[in-house]
């Protein structure tokens, strides 16, 4: 049943059970002058059938993504999710578990988290990973704070090619503190200006923050960056790119923080997401949140334990590295199952498929009169299209054709007001891409 309403007798029985005479008695602790003296201005109750009809009408006011060709990206990506992922995470022992506050009786949960950490280390090329973050944006901000804990320096260089919402999250975390943000511009190829970054690195520089692929979908070439004594933090918004690009750990990254939504999580009203966080071994004790490790019990059998739990709930108090970290158990489990199903070969094949789809669309749109590919760098999964009219106008016109044509960039980058950020994944068909090109040319 959708819901079971309470009868007057039900209410009387519940009140009697807890020892009060009326519902008003439940709010006796609230001062009378703060209580509402009249009923809320809400419509009357509906029968279940009437309520269902009303909700269906409200639902029909929303766009049905199954009826639209979507080329949205910008940090949230549509990928096919094997049925086995949802089937396994729906088992009661997984869907009801939350977090290992009593690790000795949470071996299944701990093992799942350990496997998640191990997979993240393999993908990023780092030594150690934690038990997940809320999302990629908060994970990247936590990485900046961690770099400050490591070296005590108070200046961070942040590329303007990092996702604007990630940059705003970093700014929010640092606001009120003594850490200063220096923005690093991007070049005409759409890549972070590494020469500018190298020139700005000084004795006060704690870290350099980049994203790869960056917000414009352009692959960064940061392997030769002269970061001197600063730490290099690499953010990853499209985790599938790790299936084909060289791991950040092999290109000089000290901390890697990213978003794992592409690994088996749907685009669903903006979440829930599953951030990941990995670093080099020497910085493990400064990592936020929890780290699950593998050991043996008294019988010599394999067992799992919370190796590090530097949160104030674990009696760390003011020495806690962070309070934001949760293991996001169900989301991390979904990502783990997805990666296990895909395997190394499958993940690479899927990444190559995405690369080819995007190249097909990019090459097709580049031939349209009045349209140009804005940046010349190599891209993965998305790219920036320069339009002959404001990008907002183009997006709105295509919406009438049941095409979600990407993100206009003017809000965060006023100099790119005529540009759309377009994404193509394995879920986009050739027919959809051809139709997008046809409608763009007809505007």
pLDDT digits (tens, 9 = 90+) for 4-18: 778 899 999 999 999
- Mean pLDDT, residues 34-60 taken together: 89
Pair (330, 372) in one structural domain = no
Pair (165, 278) in one structural domain = yes
Question: CA 281 to CA 268: how far, in whole Å?
Answer: 35
H helices of 19-124, in order, are 48-59, 83-89, 92-95, 107-124
Share of the chain above pLDDT 70, in %: 95
pLDDT in tens, 193-240: 999 999 999 999 999 999 999 999 999 999 999 999 999 999 999 999
Is the pLDDT score of 246 beyond 80?
yes
Pair (394, 281) in one structural domain = no
Provide the CATH number for the domain around residue 356: 3.90.1150.10
Pair (294, 365) in one structural domain = no
Provide the CATH number for the domain around residue 127: 3.40.640.10
Of 235, 260, 274, 236, which Cα lies nearest the Cα of 147? 235
pLDDT at res. 307: 87
Peptide bond into 213 cis (omega under 30): yes
Range in 50-59, 163-172, 413-422 with the lowest mean pLDDT: 50-59
Instruction: Assign 411 to helix, strand or coil.
Output: coil
pLDDT at res. 176: 84
Q: At which of 317, 338, 359 does a domain end?
A: 338
Supply 328's token pair.
């996001």
Question: CA 25 to CA 364: how far, in whole Å?
Answer: 69
Contact 410, 393 (CB under 8 A): no
- Residue 84: pLDDT band with limits 50, 70, 90: very high
Give the β-pairing of 275-279 and 302-309.
unpaired
pLDDT in tens, 131-176: 888 899 999 999 999 999 999 999 999 999 999 999 999 999 999 8
- Mean pLDDT, the chain, whole residue set: 92
pLDDT at res. 98: 66
- Residue 100: pLDDT band with limits 50, 70, 90: low
Q: How many domains does the chain have?
A: 2
- Mean pLDDT, residues 97-115 taken together: 78
273 occurs within a structural domain: yes
- Mean pLDDT, residues 270-276 taken together: 87
Q: At which of 299, 315, 338 does a domain end?
A: 338
Supply 290's token pair.
């929890």
Pair (123, 171) in one structural domain = yes
- Mean pLDDT, residues 67-94 taken together: 93
Pair (273, 128) in one structural domain = yes
156 occurs within a structural domain: yes
Pair (147, 258) in one structural domain = yes
Residue 145's domain spans which residues?
83-338
Question: CA 391 to CA 385: how far, in whole Å?
Answer: 9
Output 200 or 99, whichever has higher pLDDT: 200
Question: CA 209 to CA 198: how far, in whole Å?
Answer: 12
Backbone angles phi, psi at 273, to 5 degrees: -105, 180
């Amino acid at each position: 049943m959708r819901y079971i309403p309470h009868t007057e007798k039900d209410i009387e029985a519940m009140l009697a059970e807890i020892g009060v005479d009326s519902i008003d008695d439940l709010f006796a602790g609230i001062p009378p002058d703060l209580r509402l003296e009249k009923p809320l201005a809400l419509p009357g109750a509906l029968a279940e059938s009437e309520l269902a009809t009303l909700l269906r009408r409200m639902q029909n006011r929303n766009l049905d993504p199954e009826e639209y060709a979507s080329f949205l990206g910008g940090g949230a990506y549509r990928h096919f999710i094997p049925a086995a992922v949802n089937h396994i995470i729906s088992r009661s022992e997984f869907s009801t578990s939350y977090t290992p506050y009593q690790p000795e009786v949470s071996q299944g949960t701990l093992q799942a988290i350990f496997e998640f950490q191990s997979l993240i280390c393999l993908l990023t090329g780092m030594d150690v990973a934690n038990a997940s973050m809320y999302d990629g944006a908060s994970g990247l901000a936590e990485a900046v704070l961690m770099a400050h804990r490591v070296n005590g320096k108070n200046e961070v260089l942040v590329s303007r090619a990092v996702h604007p919402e990630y940059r705003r999250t970093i700014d929010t975390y640092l606001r009120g503190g003594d850490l200063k943000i220096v923005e690093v511009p991007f070049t005409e190829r759409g890549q972070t200006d590494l020469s500018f970054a190298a020139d700005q690195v000084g004795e006060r520089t704690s870290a350099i923050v980049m994203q790869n692929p960056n917000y414009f979908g352009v692959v960064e070439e940061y392997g030769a960056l002269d970061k001197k004594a600063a730490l290099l933090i690499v953010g990853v918004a499209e985790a599938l790119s790790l299936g084909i690009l060289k791991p950040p750990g092999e290109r000089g990254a000290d901390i890697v923080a990213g978003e794992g939504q592409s690994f088996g999580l749907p685009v669903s009203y903006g979440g829930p997401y599953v951030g990941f966080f990995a670093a080099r071994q020497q910085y493990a004790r400064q990592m936020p949140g929890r780290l699950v490790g593998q050991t043996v019990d008294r019988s010599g059998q394999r067992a799992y334990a919370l190796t590090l739990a530097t949160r104030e709930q674990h009696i760390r108090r003011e020495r806690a590295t962070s309070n934001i970290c949760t293991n996001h158990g169900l989301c991390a489990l979904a990502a783990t199952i997805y990666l296990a199903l895909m395997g190394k070969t499958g993940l690479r094949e899927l990444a190559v498929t995405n690369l080819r789809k995007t190249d097909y669309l990019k090459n097709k749109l580049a031939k349209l009169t009045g349209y140009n590919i804005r940046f010349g760098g190599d891209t993965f999964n998305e790219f920036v299209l320069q339009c002959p009219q404001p990008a907002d106008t183009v997006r709105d016109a295509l919406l009438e054709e049941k095409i979600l044509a990407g993100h206009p960039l003017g809000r965060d980058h006023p100099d790119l007001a005529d540009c759309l950020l377009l994404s193509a994944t394995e879920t986009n068909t050739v027919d959809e891409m051809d139709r997008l090109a046809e409608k763009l040319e007809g505007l």
